[in-house]
Amino acid sequence: MRCFKHIEPFEVISFDLDDTLYDNTVVIAKAEHEFASFLCQNFNLDSKANDPSFWSAIKDKLIIQDAYLEDDVSLLRAHVLYQGLTSLKGSSYVSFENCKELVTHFINIRSNVTVSKEVIELLAKLGQHYILVAISNGNVDIKKIGLADIFAYDLRPSYKIHRKKPYSDLFEQAKSIYNISSKQILHVGDDPITDVQGSVLANCQCAFLDKGYAKKLKGQESLMQVPHLILDSIFELRYFIHG
């Protein structure tokens, strides 16, 4: 642990999820592959549907048309699926409601994550002293990964309501729920932009998990804002367990 700013007393610890509390890199890649195969098999699609660039081109176009969609990854995926499937199979082949159901299936696949017993024990001990809140841009199902009972709130961005990190919306939401100041929140995350820049510009305290849970991601050399702490391991948060 390296400290760069004075740590003031805090009441809430907010956690990013993916790559902060578990290794998400392999899981999400596998989920995307499995989901593409599922679509091809169940909708009799040609090889184009297995090409990530096909879907990313649709995604980019939709975001240009409606930038708010970028804040809601589940809704965005539903729109991408609807546009992609109708272009491949015809407009009468699938409904938007069908596509929302398909997104639920994808979330189930991408939530095939194992959070280690040690991480759950760490969070449980921290929860004896602080309020724990999840603040994530993603759509992992915290019930399926065993963290629903850990967090008091599970805050996510949503279409035209709360913008995704690094915007301050979710941090402001946490402040409003508990009627506290920004400094009373310590945010823990692995991303130099969404987590560090987002929380620092929201005037929260910040602990950056260098290179992420599995040491596969961007490190402190990518920081554009100075966090209060840099953690080499999520387990260094044990320092804040009183007694």
**pLDDT tens digits, 99-146:** 999 999 999 999 999 999 999 999 999 999 999 999 999 999 999 999
Pairing type for strands 229-231 and 2-3 reads antiparallel
| CA-CA-CA-CA torsion sign (163, 164, 166, 169) | positive
Residue 22 has a pLDDT of: 97
Look at residue 92 and tell me whether its pLDDT is greater than 90.
Answer: no
Beta bridge partners of 31: none
| Pairwise CA distance, residues 94 & 96, whole Å | 7
SS3 160: coil
Helices (H), the chain: 25-43, 52-65, 73-89, 96-110, 117-126, 169-178, 198-201
SS3 200: helix
Residue 91 has a pLDDT of: 76
Which is higher by pLDDT, 128 or 42? 128
Confirm if 157 and 71 have CB atoms less than 8 A apart. yes
Cα-flanking dihedrals φ and ψ of residue 207, to 5°?
-120, 115
- Tell me the percentage of the chain whose pLDDT exceeds 70: 100
Beta bridge partners of 186: 13, 205
Residue 6 has a pLDDT of: 95
Phi-psi region of 203 (alpha: psi -120 to 50; beta: other; left: phi over 0): left
Residue 118 has a pLDDT of: 98
Average pLDDT in the chain: 95
pLDDT, tens only, 159-194: 999 999 999 999 999 999 999 999 999 999 999 999
| Pairwise CA distance, residues 72 & 15, whole Å | 19
Look at residue 243 and tell me whether its pLDDT is greater than 80.
Answer: no
Average pLDDT, integer, range 220-239: 97
230 closest CA partner among 204, 203, 212? 212
Confirm if 122 and 132 have CB atoms less than 8 A apart. no
Average pLDDT, integer, range 42-66: 92
Model confidence at 47, pLDDT cuts 50, 70, 90, reads confident
Average pLDDT, integer, range 31-40: 92
| Pairwise CA distance, residues 129 & 148, whole Å | 18
Model confidence at 49, pLDDT cuts 50, 70, 90, reads confident
